[in-house]
Amino acid sequence: MRGGGGRGALEGKAAVITGAATGIGRATAVLFARAGARLTLADARGEELARTAGEVRDAGVGTMTVGGTVETIELDRWDLAQDVNVRAMYLVSRAAIPAMRRAGGGSIINTASVSAFRGSTTRPSHAYAASKGAVLALTRAMAASYGRDRIRVNAICPGTIRTRLTADIIERVEREVAEGVDQRHADRGRRRRARRRDLRAAQPTNTPPDGCSSSPVK
Protein backbone atom coordinates (compact mmCIF):
# COMPACT_ATOMS: atom_id res chain seq x y z
CA MET A 1 0.00 0.00 0.00
CA ARG A 2 1.36 3.41 -0.91
CA GLY A 3 0.52 6.73 0.68
CA GLY A 4 -0.12 9.85 -1.35
CA GLY A 5 1.90 13.03 -1.53
CA GLY A 6 5.35 13.83 -2.75
CA ARG A 7 8.77 12.64 -1.71
CA GLY A 8 9.32 12.34 2.01
CA ALA A 9 11.77 11.14 4.60
CA LEU A 10 10.69 7.51 4.07
CA GLU A 11 10.46 7.56 0.27
CA GLY A 12 11.57 4.19 -1.09
CA LYS A 13 11.29 2.49 2.34
CA ALA A 14 8.91 -0.33 3.28
CA ALA A 15 7.33 -0.76 6.70
CA VAL A 16 5.14 -3.37 8.39
CA ILE A 17 2.91 -1.81 11.06
CA THR A 18 1.04 -4.11 13.44
CA GLY A 19 -1.87 -2.97 15.59
CA ALA A 20 -2.69 -0.53 12.78
CA ALA A 21 -6.47 -0.50 13.30
CA THR A 22 -6.59 2.15 16.04
CA GLY A 23 -4.63 4.44 18.30
CA ILE A 24 -0.86 4.65 17.99
CA GLY A 25 -0.76 2.06 15.22
CA ARG A 26 -3.21 3.99 13.04
CA ALA A 27 -1.44 7.31 13.67
CA THR A 28 1.92 5.72 12.82
CA ALA A 29 0.54 4.30 9.57
CA VAL A 30 -0.81 7.68 8.46
CA LEU A 31 2.43 9.45 9.40
CA PHE A 32 4.59 6.91 7.56
CA ALA A 33 2.36 7.11 4.50
CA ARG A 34 2.68 10.88 4.39
CA ALA A 35 6.45 10.44 4.57
CA GLY A 36 6.36 8.25 1.44
CA ALA A 37 6.72 4.73 2.86
CA ARG A 38 5.21 1.59 1.29
CA LEU A 39 3.15 -0.04 4.03
CA THR A 40 1.86 -3.43 5.06
CA LEU A 41 -0.77 -3.03 7.79
CA ALA A 42 -1.81 -5.80 10.16
CA ASP A 43 -4.47 -6.08 12.85
CA ALA A 44 -7.04 -8.62 14.00
CA ARG A 45 -9.83 -6.03 13.67
CA GLY A 46 -10.54 -6.12 9.96
CA GLU A 47 -13.26 -3.46 9.77
CA GLU A 48 -11.25 -0.86 11.66
CA LEU A 49 -8.11 -1.82 9.76
CA ALA A 50 -9.96 -1.06 6.52
CA ARG A 51 -10.67 2.45 7.82
CA THR A 52 -6.97 2.93 8.54
CA ALA A 53 -6.17 1.74 5.01
CA GLY A 54 -8.59 4.36 3.68
CA GLU A 55 -6.88 7.07 5.71
CA VAL A 56 -3.50 5.92 4.40
CA ARG A 57 -4.72 6.14 0.83
CA ASP A 58 -6.11 9.60 1.50
CA ALA A 59 -2.89 10.66 3.18
CA GLY A 60 -0.74 9.16 0.95
CA VAL A 61 -6.60 -1.81 19.39
CA GLY A 62 -3.15 -0.03 18.70
CA THR A 63 -2.50 -0.57 22.42
CA MET A 64 -4.13 -3.33 24.37
CA THR A 65 -4.65 -2.24 27.97
CA VAL A 66 -5.61 -4.92 30.47
CA GLY A 67 -6.24 -3.48 33.92
CA GLY A 68 -5.95 -5.06 37.35
CA THR A 69 -3.38 -6.34 39.80
CA VAL A 70 -1.84 -9.81 39.98
CA GLU A 71 -4.51 -10.61 42.58
CA THR A 72 -7.52 -9.45 40.58
CA ILE A 73 -6.79 -10.07 36.90
CA GLU A 74 -8.09 -13.31 35.44
CA LEU A 75 -5.60 -15.70 33.86
CA ASP A 76 -7.15 -15.41 30.40
CA ARG A 77 -6.83 -11.61 30.54
CA TRP A 78 -3.21 -11.93 31.65
CA ASP A 79 -2.52 -14.28 28.74
CA LEU A 80 -4.28 -11.87 26.37
CA ALA A 81 -1.92 -9.03 27.31
CA GLN A 82 1.13 -11.22 26.77
CA ASP A 83 -0.22 -12.61 23.47
CA VAL A 84 -1.06 -9.22 21.99
CA ASN A 85 1.95 -7.28 23.24
CA VAL A 86 4.76 -9.89 23.26
CA ARG A 87 3.85 -13.07 21.39
CA ALA A 88 2.62 -11.12 18.35
CA MET A 89 5.90 -9.20 18.30
CA TYR A 90 7.81 -12.48 18.34
CA LEU A 91 5.73 -13.91 15.47
CA VAL A 92 6.09 -10.83 13.26
CA SER A 93 9.84 -10.59 13.93
CA ARG A 94 10.31 -14.31 13.26
CA ALA A 95 8.66 -13.90 9.86
CA ALA A 96 10.32 -10.61 8.93
CA ILE A 97 13.95 -11.06 9.95
CA PRO A 98 14.95 -13.61 7.28
CA ALA A 99 13.63 -11.27 4.57
CA MET A 100 15.38 -8.28 6.16
CA ARG A 101 18.62 -10.24 6.30
CA ARG A 102 18.35 -11.12 2.60
CA ALA A 103 17.70 -7.46 1.82
CA GLY A 104 20.90 -6.42 3.58
CA GLY A 105 19.39 -5.08 6.78
CA GLY A 106 16.57 -2.93 8.06
CA SER A 107 14.98 -1.51 11.17
CA ILE A 108 12.54 -2.95 13.70
CA ILE A 109 10.80 -0.48 16.02
CA ASN A 110 8.91 -2.08 18.89
CA THR A 111 6.27 -0.17 20.85
CA ALA A 112 6.82 -0.48 24.58
CA SER A 113 5.41 1.96 27.16
CA VAL A 114 6.34 4.12 30.14
CA SER A 115 4.32 1.53 32.07
CA ALA A 116 7.43 -0.64 31.87
CA PHE A 117 9.18 1.85 34.17
CA ARG A 118 6.49 3.02 36.57
CA GLY A 119 3.33 1.76 38.19
CA SER A 120 0.04 3.43 39.05
CA THR A 121 -1.79 3.36 42.37
CA THR A 122 -5.02 4.76 40.88
CA ARG A 123 -5.24 2.49 37.81
CA PRO A 124 -2.99 -0.57 38.22
CA SER A 125 -2.32 -2.60 35.10
CA HIS A 126 0.11 -5.32 36.08
CA ALA A 127 -0.36 -7.51 33.01
CA TYR A 128 0.14 -4.58 30.64
CA ALA A 129 3.23 -3.37 32.55
CA ALA A 130 4.71 -6.87 32.55
CA SER A 131 4.14 -7.26 28.81
CA LYS A 132 5.75 -3.92 28.02
CA GLY A 133 8.71 -4.75 30.26
CA ALA A 134 9.07 -7.95 28.23
CA VAL A 135 9.05 -5.87 25.03
CA LEU A 136 12.04 -3.86 26.30
CA ALA A 137 13.93 -7.01 27.28
CA LEU A 138 13.20 -8.63 23.92
CA THR A 139 14.26 -5.47 22.09
CA ARG A 140 17.65 -5.40 23.84
CA ALA A 141 18.23 -9.10 23.16
CA MET A 142 17.27 -8.80 19.48
CA ALA A 143 19.45 -5.72 19.03
CA ALA A 144 22.45 -7.67 20.32
CA SER A 145 21.70 -10.68 18.12
CA TYR A 146 20.93 -8.99 14.82
CA GLY A 147 23.24 -6.00 14.74
CA ARG A 148 25.74 -8.10 12.76
CA ASP A 149 23.06 -8.48 10.07
CA ARG A 150 22.63 -4.70 9.85
CA ILE A 151 19.19 -5.02 11.44
CA ARG A 152 18.57 -2.28 13.97
CA VAL A 153 16.14 -3.07 16.78
CA ASN A 154 14.84 -0.25 18.95
CA ALA A 155 11.84 0.47 21.14
CA ILE A 156 9.80 3.58 21.80
CA CYS A 157 8.06 4.16 25.14
CA PRO A 158 5.04 6.43 24.71
CA GLY A 159 3.30 7.98 27.66
CA THR A 160 -0.48 8.18 27.91
CA ILE A 161 -1.96 9.11 24.54
CA ARG A 162 -5.63 9.90 24.00
CA THR A 163 -7.30 6.93 22.30
CA ARG A 164 -10.65 5.33 22.92
CA LEU A 165 -8.91 2.91 25.32
CA THR A 166 -7.42 5.70 27.45
CA ALA A 167 -10.09 8.40 27.12
CA ASP A 168 -11.46 7.76 30.62
CA ILE A 169 -7.97 8.09 32.16
CA ILE A 170 -7.25 11.38 30.42
CA GLU A 171 -10.71 12.81 31.16
CA ARG A 172 -10.32 11.94 34.85
CA VAL A 173 -6.93 13.66 35.02
CA GLU A 174 -8.29 16.71 33.19
CA ARG A 175 -11.19 16.92 35.67
CA GLU A 176 -8.81 16.67 38.61
CA VAL A 177 -6.58 19.38 37.15
CA ALA A 178 -9.57 21.66 36.49
CA GLU A 179 -10.92 21.09 39.98
CA GLY A 180 -7.48 21.83 41.43
CA VAL A 181 -7.26 25.07 39.44
CA ASP A 182 -10.75 26.10 40.58
CA GLN A 183 -9.83 25.31 44.17
CA ARG A 184 -6.62 27.35 43.94
CA HIS A 185 -8.58 30.30 42.53
CA ALA A 186 -11.08 30.01 45.38
CA ASP A 187 -8.26 29.84 47.94
CA ARG A 188 -6.61 32.94 46.47
CA GLY A 189 -9.94 34.77 46.58
CA ARG A 190 -10.40 33.89 50.25
CA ARG A 191 -6.86 35.04 51.05
CA ARG A 192 -7.40 38.37 49.25
CA ARG A 193 -10.64 38.99 51.13
CA ALA A 194 -8.95 38.14 54.42
CA ARG A 195 -6.10 40.57 53.68
CA ARG A 196 -8.58 43.34 52.89
CA ARG A 197 -10.37 42.74 56.20
CA ASP A 198 -7.04 42.83 58.04
CA LEU A 199 -6.06 46.09 56.35
CA ARG A 200 -9.38 47.73 57.21
CA ALA A 201 -9.01 46.61 60.82
CA ALA A 202 -5.51 48.08 60.99
CA GLN A 203 -6.44 51.57 59.60
CA PRO A 204 -6.26 54.42 62.20
CA THR A 205 -9.51 56.13 63.26
CA ASN A 206 -10.31 59.57 64.65
CA THR A 207 -11.90 58.17 67.80
CA PRO A 208 -10.10 59.70 70.82
CA PRO A 209 -8.76 57.53 73.60
CA ASP A 210 -10.91 56.93 76.68
CA GLY A 211 -11.05 60.01 78.96
CA CYS A 212 -10.25 62.46 76.20
CA SER A 213 -12.49 64.75 74.23
CA SER A 214 -12.06 66.53 71.01
CA SER A 215 -13.69 69.44 69.35
CA PRO A 216 -13.34 70.89 65.93
CA VAL A 217 -10.82 73.69 65.51
CA LYS A 218 -12.49 77.02 64.82
- Active site residues per annotation: 128
CB 40 within 8 A of CB 95: no
Indicate the angle between helix axes 75-82 and 126-146, nearest 10 degrees: 30
Residue 164 CA to residue 141 CA, distance in Å, equals 32
50: CB partners within 8 A, 6+ apart:
none
What are the E-state strand segments in the chain? 14-18, 38-42, 106-111, 151-156
Under a CB-based contact definition with an 8 Å cutoff, are residues 57 and 4 in contact? yes
